[in-house]
Amino acid sequence: MIKFLDLYKINERFRPQINEKIKEVLDSGWYLLGKEDEAFEKSFAEYC
């Protein structure tokens, strides 16, 4: 069987970076409207 999209395998190499960012957000206490959210919104707006 061929998997359509193996997200686990795709994301495995990014796991350390993802975990670090999640930790930063949790440690900051700003889940909404924090600096990470603002940075994402700016990046996404530039992308669009």
Q: Angle 35-47/15-28 helices, nearest 10 degrees?
A: 130
Count of the separate structural domains present in the chain:
1
Would you say residue 37 lies in a domain? Answer: yes
Q: Is residue 24 part of a domain?
A: yes
Measured distance CA(28)–CA(31) in Å, rounded = 8
- Is residue 2, in this structure, part of any structural domain at all? no
pLDDT score of 37: 87
> If DSSP codes are grouped into helix, strand and coil, which group holds residue 6?
coil
What was the pLDDT predicted at 45? 96
pLDDT digits (tens, 9 = 90+) for 12-40: 999 999 999 999 989 988 888 888 889 99
pLDDT band at 41 (very low <50, low <70, confident <90, very high): very high
- 21 falls within a domain: yes
- Residue 30, exposed/middle/buried by CB under 10 A (0-12, 13-18, 19+)? middle
